[in-house]
Amino acid sequence: MKVGIIGSGGREHAICENLKNSKKIDKLFCFPGNAGTANIAENIDININNFDSLKNFIFNNKIDLIIIGPEKPLVDGLVDYLEKHKIKVFGPNKIASKLEGSKIFTKELCKNYNIPTAKFGTFKNSIDAKKFLKSSTYPIVIKADNLASGKGVYICNNEKESFLAVEEIFNGKFGLAKKILIEEFLKGEEMSFFTIHDGNSFKCFGTAQDHKRVLEGDKGKNTGGMGAYSPSRLINNELQKKIINKIIKPTLRGLNKLGSKYKGFLYTGLMIVNNEPYLIEYNVRMGDPECQTLLPKLRTDLSEIFIACFEKKLKKLNIKWLNKKSLSIVVCSKGYPNKYKQEVEIKNLNKIELKSSEFLFHAGTKINNKKIYAIGGRVLNFVALSNSFGIAKKKIINHLKKLNWSGGFYRKDIGYKVINK
C-alpha cells in the first residue's frame, strides 16, 4: 500500500515515523515534508493548496491512502475534493472542519446542544466590541474567529489590553477577520483529549497537557505549542465519562444534524474546573506537539487503525498503548513567535545519539547539500518515554545540551506541574 501524508511539521514527521515500520505499507510520500521526513518518505515539493496538482500526483503515482495533517487543507475542503475524485482520504469534511475553522460556529453548536463552555458574545466590528469591553469584568478572553495557527487567543487583564487585541484581530493580524469572539475567563487547568472517528463510532486516543505560552512559567505570547506531556495529570474515569457524554457525543449529534458524520482525529481542548470539563476549542486534527508526544506510545499499527476507520470497523479494534509517560520539548527559532531569521543552519545534529524510547521529530526544517536549515518558528521536537516525567525530561535536556544551537531556544520548565522540584 502507498500512503501520502500532507503537511510539513513535527506532527507529520511523527506520523511518518510511526507508519514506516508497518508491513502493510510499501512506500510513503510526504507533501511537502521536511528534513526529517526526507529520511523515511519521498518528499514532494508541491503546493498543498493546489488541489488539482495534488489529485494529479496521487493518481499518477497510484497512492492508496491520503492522511491530512494540518488544519488549513481540512477547513478549505480538501477531503471533500479528494473524495469527489474517489480518493481515500483520512480527515473530516468541510462542514465538520468548521469546528476549528470558526470558533463562533463551535460556540453556537455548544449553545444549541447544551455543551458546557464559557459564556460568550460575538462582534462584527471593533466599535461594538469595545463598547462591550468597557463594561466587562477582567480577565477576559478574546479570540479571532478564523484559523490563527494557535496564536489568535488573547487573555486580557484590563481594558487597554483588550482594546489592543480587538484592533490587532480586526486589522488582519491573523488574516481577514469578519467577527471576533469574546468570552468569560474560566479559572482552571487546561487539558487536551483526543479521539479518533470512523463516521459511525469513535475511540479515545490519549490525553496530554501542552504549554502554549512562549516563556517559562506559562507567560508571554501564545504559540503553536512549546512542549507537552502525556498522560494528563487531570484525567480519571469519572472525568473521561463526562467529557464523552457532555461534550463529544452532543457535538457528533450536532454535526450529524448538519449532514456530516465525523471521520478523522478530533482534538478536544478543555478547561477542567473542579473535575468538570468545559470546552475551550476543537481542532479537527492531531495537535502539535501533542501528536509527537502521543504516537511514540502507540503499540497498535497506525495503518491498521486507518484501515479500520475506512472499513467502519474501528469499534472492533483494540488500540493498545505502552504504559509509559511521555514528554516533549520544542526547539524554536530565536524571535518566535515574532519575527525570526530564515535559513539558519542547525549544526551538531550529528552529535545526537538517540537511545531506545527517545525520538527527534523535525518541524520547520529543510535539507540542502546534506546540511539542515531552520525555515520555521518551531523547528525540532525532542521526545522521551519513561516511567517518570522527570527522567524523560532529563534525557531530552541532555540531547539539547549536545545540540547547543545558537539560533534557537526552548523552555526549560516543560512538565513543571508533574515533575517534583
| Superfamily in which the 119-184 domain is placed by CATH | ATP-grasp fold, A domain (3.30.1490.20)
Torsion of CA 87, 91, 93, 95, to 10 degrees: 180
User: Residue 264 pairs with which residues in a beta bridge?
Assistant: 197
Query: What span, in angstroms and rounded, lies between the C-alpha atoms of 231 and 175?
Result: 34
CB-based burial, 117-153: b 16+ in 10 Å, e otherwise? bbebebbeebeebeeebeeeeeebbbbbbbbbbbbbb
Helix H or strand E encompassing 6: strand 2-7
At the topology level of CATH, where does 325-409 sit? Answer: Glycinamide Ribonucleotide Synthetase; Chain A, domain 4 (3.90.600)
Report whether CATH 3.30.470.20 matches the domain 189-316: yes
Whole-angstrom distance, CA of residue 113 vs CA of residue 255: 11
Closest CA to 227 of 361, 111, 88: 361
Angle of the 302-310 helix axis to the 10-19 helix axis, nearest 10: 90
Give the start-to-end residue ranges of the domains of the chain.
2-91, 119-184, 189-316, 325-409
Separation CA 405–CA 421 (nearest Å): 26
Please compute Rg for the chain using Cα positions: 21
Beta strands in 157-236 (DSSP E): 180-184, 189-198, 202-210, 213-215, 219-222, 227-230
Q: How do the pLDDT tens digits run along the chain, 421 residues long?
A: 999 999 999 999 999 999 998 999 999 999 999 999 999 999 999 999 999 999 999 999 999 999 999 999 999 999 999 999 999 999 999 999 999 999 899 999 999 999 999 998 899 999 999 998 998 889 999 988 877 666 678 899 999 999 999 998 888 887 777 889 899 999 999 999 999 999 999 999 999 999 999 999 999 988 999 999 999 999 999 999 999 999 999 999 999 999 999 999 999 999 999 999 999 999 999 999 999 999 999 999 999 999 999 999 999 999 999 999 999 999 999 999 999 999 999 999 999 999 999 999 999 999 999 999 999 999 999 999 999 999 999 999 999 999 999 999 999 999 999 997 5
Q: Which three cell numbers stand for residue 351?
A: 552529535
C-alpha 362/C-alpha 330 separation (Å) is 10
pTM to 2 decimals?
Answer: 0.93
Q: What is the predicted pLDDT for the residue at 176?
A: 75
Q: Is 32 exposed, middle or buried (CB count within 10 Å of its CB: 0-12, 13-18, 19+)?
A: middle
Largest Cα span, the chain: 61
Peptide linkage before 70 cis (omega within 30 of 0)? no
The domain 2-91 is placed in CATH, from the list 3.40.50.10190, 3.30.70.100, 3.30.390.30, 3.40.50.20, at 3.40.50.20
